[in-house]
Amino acid sequence: MNEHPATAKYATDASRPRYSAMIRKARKDMGITVEKMAEFLDVSYTSVIQWENGKVYPDAVRRAMIKDKLGIDLPERSAV
């Protein structure tokens, strides 16, 4: 399977609401559009949407950038 470099493997159903809701809420609370977040993180609009919909989990580099920009600390994938 060819993955986008900004994404980790598909998340489990149990983890979807937790991290995806965190990303979406923080982004919206700060008034950042999906487009602006994608631009800042150097990923596609689709990648951000997939994170927010719980289909894909951000990789470690993007999690660090999300923490820096949005102030949320996403757990390591194994802890999700």
With tokens 């631009």, the residue in question is 39
* Confidence grade of residue 78 (pLDDT, cut at 50, 70, 90): low
- The secondary structure of the chain, three-state, reads CCCCCCECCCCCHHHHHHHHHHHHHHHHHCCCCHHHHHHHHCCCHHHHHHHHCCCCCECHHHHHHHHHHHCCCCCCHHHC
CA distance 63 to 17: 16
Tens-place pLDDT, residues 5-62: 444 444 455 555 588 999 999 999 999 999 999 999 999 999 999 999 988 999 999 9
Residue type, 45: Y
Over 50: is that where the pLDDT of 3 sits?
no
